[in-house]
Amino acid sequence: MGTARITDDNLITVLATGCACLVAIMSIIGWLTVSGRFAGGVAVGGCLALLNFFWLRIALQKILQMPAGQATRSANIRYILRLSALGFILWVLITKAHISIPGLLVGLSVLVIGIVLLTLYRLLHLGG
């Protein structure tokens, strides 16, 4: 069995897959060590972070294909919409669903953790 290489071509796929696995692992550990409510917060926060990441990626791909003047306006509108939607969802989760705030924060930080780990991996393997 060969080893998978992380290249510039599959970087986003590796990051997304790794973060999804990290959310699953952190949720299980949270459920075993803290509580089911905390694990739910980690899972929901991680899913929100990944959805937000994909939404941003799609928006950037569309914006980069637009003329400069139109791209600026579109980027601003998409940013405000994305941020408003995320804020509303977080508000509902915290006030109505009574999700664990520490668990939610851990889940929301999954992309940061994934990016740091991927950066360290690439530095160690590429001799950066």
Contact residues for 123 (Cβ-Cβ < 8 A; gap 6+): none
Is the residue at 25 inside a domain? yes
pLDDT for the residue numbered 110: 95
Number of H helices, E strands in the chain: 5, 0
pLDDT digits (tens, 9 = 90+) for 21-63: 999 999 999 999 999 999 999 999 999 999 999 999 998 888 8
Is the residue at 21 inside a domain? yes
Is the residue at 17 inside a domain? yes
The span from the CA of 62 to the CA of 87, in Å, is: 23
Q: What is the domain count for the chain? A: 1
Note the pTM of the prediction, 2 decimals: 0.85
What residue numbers bound the domain in which 91 lies? Answer: 11-117
